Amino acid sequence: MIRSILKYGDRVVHDRAEPVGAFTPDIDRLVGDMIETMYAAPGVGLAAPQVGVPLRIFVVDISIGRDPTGLVVMINPEFVEQDGMQLEEEGCLSVPGFNATVVRPSRVILKGLDRAGGEQRHEGTGLLARAFQHEMDHLDGMLFVDRLRGIKRDVIVRRIRKLSRAGKW
């Protein structure tokens, strides 16, 4: 089932998500819905808080469905390593219509659980590292806008407030 994606300003996307305790049919259904929603959007990643569920789950597929082995499901992820630096433009399904250049690590290693509750580790470089960091931010209640400073951040936030007041956000 495709779920609605919450936008910047909705409380759930600004709060820290809670760890998943038990692997229930509801968790499996949520993961399936997140995958379907991410591909329909289309996007390269989606975190549970973006669909209104404050749990530490995200899905990423930088191939956007073109590579069957490209889908990564992470439950209760943690960083093991982060290094390097990349400076690239990114957007977000929760901040539609806005992009900005964000500093991210160029390489990350994550550990967490897969959809069945088994332990896993994933290393990402380049776009995959960026996607992992972006989704981890969502689990901590941060959006890419929160990583911006100065006038760029102010311009985006002001435009979102204006759209919100006009009922277009």
pLDDT one-digit tens code per residue, 94-107 = 999 999 999 999 99
Instruction: Give the span between the Cα atoms of 16 and 35, in whole angstroms.
Output: 21
What pLDDT, on a 0 to 100 scale, did the predictor assign at position 49?
98
Characterize 105-115 residue by residue with b for buried, 16 or more Cβ atoms within 10 angstroms of its Cβ, and e for exposed. Answer: bbbbbbebbeb
What pLDDT, on a 0 to 100 scale, did the predictor assign at position 68?
86
- For residue range 115-149, list pLDDT tens digits in order: 999 999 999 999 999 999 999 999 999 999 999 99
Q: What is the pTM of this model?
A: 0.96
Is 135 one of the annotated active-site residues of the chain? yes
Cα-based torsion angle of the residue sequence 109, 113, 119, 123 in order, rounded to the nearest 10 degrees: -20
What pLDDT, on a 0 to 100 scale, did the predictor assign at position 167?
96
Domains of the chain: 11-165 (3.90.45.10)
* Active-site residue (options: 18, 36, 90, 135): 135
Point out the residues of the chain with pLDDT beneath 70: none
Helix (H, G, I), strand (E, B) or coil at 74: strand
Helix (H, G, I), strand (E, B) or coil at 122: strand
